[in-house]
Copies of this chain bind each other. A is one copy, B any other.
């Protein structure tokens, strides 16, 4: 029986090899050699280890599998073909423009939770899923991820490894396909599988070394992993790139190349000769039933109480973030707050204090925080919010990029934006975060200016499916809005407007600290006989083009706008506004006031002056253009 199983899985691996070769021949590109090294590993997982549902791949009780080495997706598609979800006809559409069977896996396919293809991110996703499995769902589904040896050079792998052992994720198995060869040369550790085992052991894993082409060894390793308590397991597999492919196995220069057409027949014949029996009717273990359904009530998620600030009270938007998120956690158990050892600065500590089970400390490892949060949000198990200094989200820029391709539902709050943080200096000042988050496709970017609007931004964020960024600031600033003020995604607020249509006026657009500078400037300009309107954008993306255009038209003919931002020029508010009005026929000129050079340590107000974004610079600019 066991022998039968081993033999059947071995046969499946070889059928999958052939399928991977066929589909990459059909697409004339792709990664058959990287697929071949993983054939036995993936076959053993799919036909000897994992519990899942072919009919419902995203069943909440199903074991999770993440192919971290995404370029080897032909072998994954072949596994689903072997399992009966995909037909051969479908897998042969690999990389075609009208096929969801893409060159690297994306969740356009119903059996993919997260996009991979930028290397080293799978273990972080898996860690987030395993965290949710163990601590939120408290269920017995297990999480498996397959890494390449080359991608294990990515630091994100080791951030995820440290997180996984810290949280004793014994429901997590990382498998490393040590096939020795990278894209352009041998990977740095070659076939020294013991070094991989040592590294994972030092990072708190139970490590097992096996021959990755030996199905019975793999079955035994997976069984052993299930007996390990309070530790994740790493199975280090010695494999050969192109295994089983004649004249390709263990050879250089076969990364990302389909087989030469002439050779395919012989190659496949050799593989076929190794297949011992007919394809069986697979008896895949049923999914576990100790998981509850999780339905996100998007559109109806509310804070336990509305904002309660009084006009003029001083409150930092970062503090309002912590308050609002805690009030969301009050009503919605799916809210999960992640932070990277900045919780006392971002105020996510408030969630930890009141709802410790809804808080995840990720320590100083922002890449993994974002990947784990994306993983935690899969299959609608949770609504993850991540917070750290906005500057440090640049550390996770690639994870955020991949989050968009994953259609991830994750909210990111970056505090300490801009030079207004003061004395800590430029390394802590986010001045490119709006560019980063605006360039995420389909993202929403909130930049609330006071406590009331910040709380509403957090509430709105929870109700949007997708990637949402909330930019918060360090300084405590006066509350501008009554508690019952209504905020919407993509709707700006006109706070002041003395424009009279006579042309001698200007529209001032700011957010956060610069909104207050604009309000100051408005008063002084008014005294000097210059009319102005002040717009609080609230949402930087999607930008409220209508309100901007309407307000600009109120200036009169040839209107002028001044944008003021605590951010560099590129990709910031000035460019967002310029590009929003650039195709209108109103001859609107846009003048940008922004941070133009690398800032330095100093008191916030002095920095606003020194780097040209304070009220006096707005006034000077307005006077110079009118």
A361 CB–B CB distance under 8 Å:
yes
Are B103 and A150 closer than 8 Å at their CB atoms? no
Using A584-B589, A607-B97 as known contacts, say yes or no to A427 and B364 having CB atoms under 8 A apart: no
Complex contact B343–A184 (CB within 8 A): yes
Known contacts A156-B155, A398-B397, A435-B570; is-contact A162 B188 (Cβ 8 Å):
yes
The complex places the Cα of A56 from the Cα of B314 at a distance, in Å, of 48
Interface residue from B102, B150, B156, B162 paired with A363 (Cβ < 8 Å): B150
User: Does any Cβ of B come within 8 Å of A294's Cβ?
Assistant: no
Query: Are B397 and A391 closer than 8 Å at their CB atoms?
Result: no
Interface string of A567-594 (1 = CB under 8 A from B): 0111110111011001111010111100
- Neighbour of A598 across the interface among B104, B162, B405, CB < 8 A: B405
CA distance A579 to B398 in the complex (A): 26
Is the pair A570, B439 in contact by a Cβ cutoff of 8 Å?
yes
Distance between Cα atoms of A436 and B400 in the complex (Å): 13
For A395, list chain B residues within 8 Å (CB).
118, 154, 397-398
From A418-426, A482-490, A526-534, give the one contacting chain B: A418-426
Give the interface segment out of A196-204, A218-226, A268-276, A326-334. A196-204
Q: Would A401 and B405 be within 8 Å (CB), given that A150-B364, A182-B341 are in contact? A: no
- In-complex Cβ contact of A404 among B158, B188, B598, B607 (8 A): B598
Determine the interface band of chain A, counting residues with CB < 8 A from chain B. Answer: 35 or more
A134 at the interface (CB under 8 A from B): no
Q: Which residues of B contact A392 (CB under 8 A)?
A: 118, 398
Chain B residues, Cβ within 8 Å of A575: 570-571, 575-576, 578-579
Query: Are A115 and B583 within 8 A (Cβ)?
Result: no
Bound-state CA distance A173–B363 (Å) is 25
CB of A301 within 8 Å of the partner chain? no
- Which one of B102, B188, B424, B578 contacts A104 once the chains associate, using CB atoms below 8 Å? B424
Inter-chain pairs besides A116-B427, A391-B401, A578-B582, 12 sampled, C-beta below 8 Å: A95-B425, A97-B600, A97-B606, A98-B602, A100-B600, A103-B425, A153-B365, A199-B202, A432-B436, A438-B571, A439-B569, A584-B589
Contact A364 B151 (CB under 8 A): yes
User: Does A478 lie at the interface of the complex (its beta carbon under 8 Å from any beta carbon of B)?
Assistant: no
Q: Are A154 and B155 in contact (CB under 8 A)?
A: yes
Q: Flag if B578 contacts A427 (CB, 8 Å).
A: no
- B27, A342: Cβ atoms closer than 8 Å: no
Q: What number of copies of this chain does the assembly contain?
A: 2
For chain A residues 159-181, which have a beta carbon within 8 Å of chain B? 159, 162, 166
Q: Is A547 an interface residue (CB 8 A)?
A: no
Return 25 A-B CB contacts under 8 Å, by A number: A95-B601, A97-B610, A103-B428, A104-B425, A115-B426, A117-B425, A117-B428, A118-B391, A154-B364, A154-B395, A155-B155, A155-B156, A155-B368, A183-B341, A183-B342, A184-B349, A198-B201, A394-B401, A397-B436, A404-B598, A432-B440, A435-B438, A575-B579, A583-B625, A584-B589
Which 3 residue pairs across A and B have the least CB separation, nearest first?
A: A155-B155, A117-B427, A571-B571
B363–A115 touching, CB < 8 Å: no
Assess the A427–B402 pair: CB atoms within 8 A: yes
Shortest beta-carbon distance from A608 to chain B in Å: 11
A436 to chain B, nearest CB (A): 7
| Alpha-carbon gap, A154 to B362, bound state (A) | 11
Whether B405 pairs with A394 at a CB distance below 8 angstroms is no
Q: Which residues of A contact B (CB under 8 A)?
A: 27, 29-30, 70, 95-100, 102-104, 106, 108, 115-120, 150-151, 153-159, 162, 166, 182-185, 187-188, 195, 198-199, 201-204, 339, 341-345, 349, 361, 363-365, 367-368, 391-392, 394-395, 397-398, 401-402, 404-405, 407, 422-428, 431-432, 435-436, 438-442, 541, 558, 568-572, 574-576, 578-579, 582-585, 587, 589-592, 596-598, 600-603, 606-607, 610, 625
A252 → chain B closest CB, angstroms: 10
Closest CB of chain B to A345's CB: distance in Å? 7
Q: How far is the CA of A115 from the CA of B598 in the complex (A)?
A: 12
8 Å CB contact of A155 from B158, B342, B401: B158
A364 touches B120 (CB 8 A): yes
Residues of chain B with a CB closer than 8 A to A583's CB = 589-592, 625
Measured between beta carbons, the chain B residues less than 8 angstroms from A442 are 597-598
* Cβ-defined contact, A438 with B96, below 8 A: no
Across the interface, which residues of B come within 8 angstroms of A598, CB to CB? 404-405, 407, 441-442
A438-B571, A585-B589 known; A341-B394 Cβ under 8 A:
no
Q: Which residues of B contact A441 (CB under 8 A)?
A: 431, 568, 596-598
The docked-state distance in angstroms from the alpha carbon of A103 to that of B423 is 6
Determine the chain B residues whose CB is within 8 A of the CB of A558 once the complex forms: 585
Would A432 and B439 count as touching, CB distance under 8 A? yes
The smallest C-beta distance from A422 to any residue of chain B, in angstroms, reads 8
Decide if A603 touches B435 in the complex (CB within 8 Å).
Answer: no
Across the interface, which residues of B come within 8 angstroms of A120, CB to CB?
364
> What's the nearest-Cβ distance from chain B to residue A123, in Å?
11
Q: Give complex CA distance A450, B195 in Å.
A: 45
Nearest B residue (CB) for A155? B155
Give A426 Cβ to nearest chain B Cβ, in Å.
Answer: 5
- Complex: A610 Cα to B187 Cα, angstroms: 37
Chain B residue numbers with a CB within 8 Å of A423 are 27, 29-30, 95, 103
Given contacts A119-B364, A570-B571, A597-B441, contact A184 B344 (CB under 8 A): yes
Tell me the complex Cα distance, A30–B343, Å: 18
Q: In the complex, what residue of chain B is closest to A152 when comparing beta carbons?
A: B364
Residue of B nearest to A609 (CB): B97
A575 (CB) vs chain B CBs: closest residue:
B575
A151 to B392, CA, bound (A): 13
